Each structure stands twice: as structure tokens, then as C-alpha cells.
Amino acid sequence: MPTPAVTAVGKVFLIGAGPGDPGLITWRGVECLRRADVVLYDYLVNPAILRHTRADAELQSLGRHRGERLWTQTEINDRMVEMAKRGLNIARLKGGDPIIFGRLAEEIDALVSGGVPYEIVPGVTAALAAGSYAGICVTHREQASAVALITGHEQEGKTAPELDYEALARFPGTLVFYMGVTTAPQWATRLIESGKPPNTPAAIVRRCTWPDQQVISTTLADVANELAAAKMRPPAIVIIGDVAAAPADWFATRPLFGQRVLVTRPLGQTAGLEGPLTELGAMCMIQPAIEICPPANWLAVDAMLDRLSEFDWLVFSSANGVRFLLDRLLSTGGDLRRLGKSRLAAIGPGTSEELARYHLRADVQPDEYRAESLAAALKGDAQGRRFLLVRANRGREVLAEELTAAGGAVEQVVVYESRDVTAADEQVVSALSEGRIDWITVTSSAIAHSLARMFGDSLRRAKLASISPITSGTLRELGFEPAVDANPYTMPALVAALVAAENST
């Protein structure tokens, strides 16, 4: 008799995704996400975390991310068991920590009865994240030796005993309410009736760790009024106790807190701006204005790769140029010896850093990061020298012209193409036209042109942060006045210019 085919049962990883900031998932959580065939994520989970998933993983929202209906608990349980039995590994992402107010017990029961193996990966729960991000130490040597995590939303008809408000009122420590926004009038009143002093300090923390986090300091007696006055919607945490009296707010006091910045660099190259801007408190939206692509074919580049050592100078006017040239060299079986004794020139620190990633040091980098200055740095000894300019399909001709005029023998190789992105994301279009973007970064002339085509006059609704005088000149020619420009012409200086502008008043 033939043996029936055995399909190994997949495993379910019940993962805490943390309170919102995608950096607050654990390393183990990321490892499990990378392995998953299927990802089921709750409505409180920040979809940015999904960047850790495999490209071929099936991603399923369990509701509300784009207005979809919420899945029922039974549907979730059945789906997990059914997929695991088909041999798939499942990452079940839950907001905060999975064992806190997440109905995890029901999911575990379903997995156990379905014979499905599982692992629970802890996460940062909202109460603790709210404490950290509002600067409230929920335990304190003098003020609180215990913390209680409490639901403000008791399930109707449930069998567990009701909350004992008298015990909670006597509790010698900090009380933290989850799911307490709509029910605040009831639970706050019950606590006060049970003997908790009405003037006990309270802090409401909404959307903790997200760039639009809100913190309201109040008292137990006023929690419900404050929530109503601020028209506050979930998710929010309410921390009650002496420790909540004076939040040490490091989060909302960051220099760019609340600023909405549109980053327009090509995909994959936004990190140099997005990282520091976000850390300084800004909310970044991404809308690439140009895309960077390999050349239509590699014939000209490959031919040049065989001749690299013939040149006295390899001149790089962008980090992309470094990357495309050297990646092609390495992926076609060559190595850095192909560069021979050629010297290397880089237009600025970003380009030099890219060279350094390939263990190469720039011999020349001008003090001012523009083509004219690079030409000036090379011109003195250009007579009879052979230069290879490594470049994009479009860009300025200054370098070639000036080096030729100085007696150099100049050749050029196009190692990547820069193209305009023509269609903007609809959400970005509406955010800009409704005045919901404060700043737009403009980090090259090509980007300036593309933005003008993409957004037209709407560009006036935000302040423009320009990378250099050349880019500012392009913006002005197009009829737009930059609000700040960077000096030196680097991403860190652009960020610094934004900070200076926002904190000058």
C-alpha cells in the first residue's frame, strides 16, 4: 500500500510588533518575520514592519489598515490552523506584546487543539512604551513599587470577575489603563467612588511612539473631560499615579517634532535623510522624484571596465556612479586591481563614503561639493592627463568642458540612468494640496525639475529645502524660492538647515 504523502505542519510565530515605531520589534521577531510564508497582522501593527518579510510572503491585514472589515477571532484561529497544516510558516503579528490584552489564550487553544507548533515572541507593550516615550517612570523608588495593567473595556458577558475597584483604589503603585478612552467616565468615577483621590496625577498618552504621539497631563478627576475635549480616539494609554505628575518629555521636545517632511530622493536612497529627520522628530513621507536605473545595456560600460587602468583619473560625481561602476566590475568577475594606478576624484563626502565601502580612498575631494570646484581641484595638473568621468545619462557638462579646456583628454561613461518619476502617490498629492506637508527636500536639479512637473504650483504650499546653490538656482528658474539651503552641500547639512529654520523663532 502506498504511504500517504506527509506534509510537515508549519509553525506559527505569535509575535509582538510593539506599539508603533517599527524599530521597537525584537530581533527574534524580525528573524521570524524573515522566515514566514504568510504574515497575518493586526490593525494596530505599523505596516512599516512588513519590510522585514520575504518578497514572496503573503501579507494579510486582519482589518482596518485600509478600512477593511475586522476579522473575527474564530476566522483568525481557523486561518492559522488551516495554513499551518498546509506546511506554511506563519507570522502572526500583534500590536504591543502578544500576551497583554491580545486574546492570545484563544489563539493558543486553537493551535494546541489543531496540533500546530508555535512560539511566542514578546513585544514592547503599550503601557511601558507610553511610560518611556512620555518620560514617566512607572515604578519609582519613592512613588511607586508596583504597576497594574488594567483594561478599561471589560468584555460584556464574560465569566471572569469584574474589576475590583476598591482593590485598585488601594493598589500601592501606578495604574495603567488600556482600552480606556470611551469608557473613561465609568472607570474614573468608579475609582474615585472607591476612594482613589480625585487629584491623583494622570497622563493620557495617545499613539505612543508614533510621530504624532500626544501626551496630556491631567488628574484622575479630569481624565474623561480631557479625553472628550481633545476628541481623542483610541489607541491611548492612561497612566495614573504620582509618577505621572511631571512627564519628562524628551519625545515632543525634539527639534523637528510634528514637522511633516516630504523626502524626494530615489527609492533606496532615502535613508540618509529619513533616518536623521525621523530621529529629530519629523514625520517623513517618501515620494521619489527620480528613479535610478541601470543603463539600457552594459556594452559601453563593460568595454570601459577593460580600460580603467589607462586613465590617470577616475572622476566620480555621485555615489550612484561609484556603486554602478564598481558593482558591474565585481559582478562580471573583475576586482579592484582593474583600477590599476588610476587616481580617484570624488565630488563630495557622500561619494567618498561610497568609495570607502569598496575599500577605496578618494585622492581628491574639493572643499565645495560642486562640479566647478572639482574641476578647479583637478585643472592645475590636467594638461595631457587622461580623465574618465563616471556619470549619469543626464547632468551638467561643466566638468568635461573645464577639464578639456585645461588640456585634459576627457572620456565619459554613463553607468546609470536617472529618469523622472511621472506619477505622484495620491496620498502625497492630497497631503500637499491640503497643506499637510511642511517641508520638501530638493537634493538635485533633476529632482527640482521633476517636482515642478509633478506638483506644479502646489509646491508653494510647503517650504523647500535645497541641497546647494545650483539646486536653488534651478528652483528659482522654475519660479520657486527655496526656504533654506544646505552649507556644505550634504544631507547632514540639509537636515541641520531645517533644524535651524524651525528653531530660529
Kindly list the residues in this chain that would bind ligand SAH in the complex (CB under 6 A). Answer: 19-20, 44, 94-97, 100-102, 125-126, 130, 178-179, 205-209, 234-237
Closer by beta carbon to ligand SAH, 36 or else 150: 150
Nearest Cα to Cα of residue 391 among 376, 408, 410, 366: 410
Contacts of 131 (CB under 8 A, 6+ apart): 137, 138, 176, 239
What's the closest the beta carbon of residue 155 comes to ligand SAH, in angstroms? 12
Smaller CB distance to ligand SAH: residue 181 or 305?
181
Q: Are the CB atoms for 148 and 176 separated by under 8 Å?
A: yes
Residue 415 beta carbon to ligand SAH: minimum distance, rounded to whole angstroms: 44
State the nearest-atom distance from the C-beta of 157 to ligand SAH, in Å. 19
Distance (Å, whole) CA 361 – CA 339: 12
* Nearest distance, CB of residue 100 and ligand SAH, angstroms: 4
Q: Which three cell numbers stand for residue 404?
A: 578639456
Say which amino acid occupies 266: P
Tell me which amino acid residue 308 is: L
* DSSP state letter for 414: E
| Least gap, CB of 91 to ligand SAH (angstroms) | 16
Query: Residue 135 or 473: which CB sits closer to ligand SAH?
Result: 135
Q: What is the DSSP string of 186-234?
A: HHHHHHHHTT--TT-EEEEEESTTSTT-EEEEEEGGGHHHHHHHTT--S
Closest-by-Cβ residue to ligand SAH is: 96
Distance between CA atoms of residues 200 and 244, nearest Å: 9
Q: Which is nearer to ligand SAH, 151 or 189 (CB)?
A: 151
**Least distance to ligand SAH from the beta carbon of 130, Å?**
5
- Spatial neighbors of 72 by CB under 8 A, at least 6 apart, are none
Rounded CA-CA distance 336/329 in Å is 8
Q: For ligand SAH, which is the closer residue by CB, 62 or 465? A: 62
Closer CB to ligand SAH, 95 or 408, in the complex:
95
Is 15 or 90 the residue whose CB approaches ligand SAH more closely?
15
**Minimal distance in Å, beta carbon 187 to ligand SAH?**
12
CA-based angle 303:304:310, to the nearest 5? 125
